[in-house]
Structure formats: C-alpha cells, structure tokens
C-alpha cells in the first residue's frame, strides 16, 4: 500500500457549493434515537463535533423529520422544524464549524414505514402512495394532492431553514423504502394517477420536491439526493434493472436541481448491473453527469445489515481499510466522495488515523458504538 498515493487522492480538497471539503470522506447518516421529543441536545452537538474533530470532510446528519403530521417514524429521532429543535440544530452547526468541519442535515419522511401510533400524532394513520389495511384497519392512507403538496412544502421549508441556520447544504432522504422511495419503486406504488404507473410518473413526486427545494435555497447551496435500490425489508429490490432505467429515474432529478447523488449500497465494491463493472455510484455519475457519493460497508470486514442496528444480528465487525481501492476509484473519476458509517461511529478519529496511516490504531465496531452517543 502506498500511503502517499492514497493521501494524494483521498485527502485532496474538493469544492462543495461555495465552500471546500478538506478531503473526500463523508460521515454517512445514521439514526441514533437520542433526541427526546425531537430536540437534539448538547450531547448531540458534542457527538457531531467529535466527528468533525476526527477529520471527516463532510458530515451528513442522521435522518431529521420534516414538518408533516406523520413524518416521524420512530421514537426519539430529531425533528427539523419547531423553535426548540431548530435551536438545537443551530448548536450542532456552530460546534461542527468551530471544529473546522462542514455539515448538512438529512431531511426525511418515513411514509408507510412509520411505527403506527408514533409521536406526535399517534391517532393518525401513516401517509404513503397507497392505502394499506391490516386486519381491516387503515394503517396507511394514500396521499391525495393536498397531502402531496403539503409534504413537498414541508421539505422545501426544511431546506430553507437549513440554509438559514448555517448548514453547508442539505440531503434529501430518498432511499431505503421511506416516503420518497415508496413513490419511486413500483413495489410500493401501484397508483393509477399521474404519480404512478411509468417510471416517469413514479418519479414525479421526487421531482416536484427537488424543484421546490431548489427554489427555496440559494443557487450555490448544495442539494444532495440519497437513493437506494435496496429497501429495509428487501435487499434484492430494484428501482432500475439496467442503466437505461436508472437514467429514467435520476436524470429528471438532476434536471430539477440535484447537485450530488448519494448512491446507498450495502457493498460499494460490487457491480450494480450484471455484465457491467460499475457500482451504483459510478453508474449514477455516468447517467446524470453529477458528482456522486459512494457508500457501503467502507472500513469494515462485515457488510451492512439492518439487523445490526436493531440488535437482531451480531453487529461486531473488524476494521478493514482498503485505501488502494478507494484511491483508485477517486483518481479514475468513478466517484467523488466516499461515505463511511459504522467505522466512524466506532472511532471518531477514523479519518485522521487513515490520513496519518495509523490503521492499526483504529477501533473496531461493536455494540458500544451503538450504545454510546459521544465517544
């Protein structure tokens, strides 16, 4: 391994909107459930500051729910609306900036994946593309035009608030089977109106949402769109079965104003389509012409599984950093940024240790990384 060569590619600065990232590493968004009643506290601010001090080029926050009655899916996840929650996020931004880092929030609506009866409106059914009944009870209500417009406006307001608070951009959570992804994927969108049917129709909700966000923020405020093929309950799901279908999903989003795509995979080194060598991020760059973030089990010897975070499966994984592969991908223009999740949970200094070639000092990932917010 040539550490100088690795540093040359991975630790070059790169423009991000009107600012520059110190390196190509990104802290991936990871839900932590540490914000009671949706308000991130001082411990959350310390948590993000510690990762900025650890040298990561860009931090993407955990999912933060927008101002829609049933956007929040789980207990103790943070809101991105309301005076108290936004004041908490302002502290986070200030702490990260004081440590020399850049940070963007991930804005989120859980759709049908919301836990029924979740706070703050337990009496309301979930919202999604289609009605869903369980034992004769409506648990998810199909969104009508008024519902869709309200959700679009909620995302636009969250993005505007992010810029006002001093964040360095915003990421739209369009992945993993949550609301936006539910419209994109034919498996969860069987609508017969203008939001269902063809790929173009299924993309319409996301396009309207991106357009509204683009209109609500400055032209040089980066808008990132995270998407995935896999869903929480289906690792084999596919939005697109080939590069042409992927282009039909993503090019309208690029045209609507997405600046970066964040292509979420569980194993970033694997080809996405049979017969082609590229991973999902590289194909995304090919079909949109936009810069991309690649992600998927970087830095560990065990691929990501949802069960690691729910404790249904043993989460323990050893550090495994393949700088040569990452460096070659950046140098070849296959992807622009590399997101790291669990490895940075386990070791806030992960990026600095990689930079300094102290790979044998990196802390392995285990249950402590899930149990502790600040380490």
Bridge partner list, 16: 19
Sign of the four-CA dihedral 90, 91, 96, 99: positive
Instruction: State whether residue 207 is helix, strand or coil.
Output: helix
Q: 64-67 long-range contacts, Cβ below 8 Å, gap at least 24?
A: 64/89, 64/105, 64/106, 64/107, 64/108, 64/158, 65/38, 65/107, 65/108, 65/109, 65/110, 66/107, 66/108, 66/109, 66/151, 66/154, 66/155, 66/157, 66/158, 67/154, 67/157, 67/158
Q: What interhelical angle do 83-98 and 145-165 show, nearest 10?
A: 40
Distance from C-alpha of 157 to C-alpha of 164, rounded to nearest angstrom: 10
Tokens of 155: 């995302």
Closest C-alpha to 221, from 175, 288, 166, 290: 166
* Residues 26/60, Cβ–Cβ less than 8 Å: yes
Tally of CA atoms within 13 A in the half-sphere of 52 that contains its CB: 23
Q: DSSP strand E in 145-210: where?
A: 170-176
Tokens of 28: 């991936």
Distance from C-alpha of 88 to C-alpha of 66, rounded to nearest angstrom: 15
Active-site residue, selected from the candidate residues 48, 178, 195, 260: 178
* Residues 137/93, Cβ–Cβ less than 8 Å: no
- Is residue 178 part of the annotated active site? The answer reads yes
DSSP for 56-97 reads: -SEEEEEEEE-SSTT---STTPPBS-SHHHHHHHHHHHHHHH
Catalytic site residues?
178
């Amino acid at each position: 391994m040539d550490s100088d060569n690795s540093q040359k590619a991975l630790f070059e600065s790169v423009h991000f909107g009107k600012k520059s990232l110190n390196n190509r590493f990104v802290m991936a968004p990871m839900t932590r459930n540490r914000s009671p009643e949706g308000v991130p506290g001082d411990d959350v601010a310390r948590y993000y500051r510690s990762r900025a001090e650890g040298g990561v080029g860009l931090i993407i926050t955990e999912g933060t729910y927008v101002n829609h009655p049933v956007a929040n899916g789980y207990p103790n996840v943070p809101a991105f609306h309301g005076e108290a929650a936004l004041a908490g996020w302002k502290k986070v931004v200030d702490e990260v900036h004081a440590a020399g880092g850049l940070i963007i929030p991930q804005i989120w609506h859980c759709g049908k994946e919301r836990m029924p009866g979740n706070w703050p409106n337990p009496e309301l059914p979930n919202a999604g593309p289609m009605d869903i009944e369980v034992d004769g009870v409506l648990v998810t209500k199909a969104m009508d035009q008024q519902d869709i417009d309200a959700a679009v406006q909620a995302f636009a307001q969250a993005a505007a608030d992010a810029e006002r608070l001093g964040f360095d951009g915003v990421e739209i959570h369009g992945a993993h089977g949550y609301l936006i992804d539910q419209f994109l994927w034919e498996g969860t969108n069987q609508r017969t109106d203008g939001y269902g049917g063809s790929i173009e129709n299924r993309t319409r909700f996301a396009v309207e949402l991106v357009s509204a966000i683009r209109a609500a923020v400055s032209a040089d405020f980066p808008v990132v769109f995270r998407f995935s093929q896999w869903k929480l309950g289906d690792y084999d799901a596919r939005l697109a079965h080939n590069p042409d279908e992927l282009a039909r999903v993503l090019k309208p989003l690029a045209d609507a104003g997405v600046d970066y795509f964040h292509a979420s995979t569980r194993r970033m080194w694997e080809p996405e389509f049979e017969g082609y060598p590229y991973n999902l991020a590289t194909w995304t760059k090919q079909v949109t012409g936009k810069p991309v973030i690649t992600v998927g089990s970087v830095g560990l010897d065990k691929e990501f599984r949802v069960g690691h975070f729910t404790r249904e499966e043993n989460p323990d994984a050893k550090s495994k950093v393949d700088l040569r592969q990452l460096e070659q991908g950046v140098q070849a223009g296959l992807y622009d940024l590399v997101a790291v999740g669990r490895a940075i949970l386990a070791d806030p200094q992960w990026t600095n240790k990689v930079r300094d070639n102290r790979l044998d000092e990196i802390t392995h990932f285990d249950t402590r990384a899930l149990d502790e917010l600040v380490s």
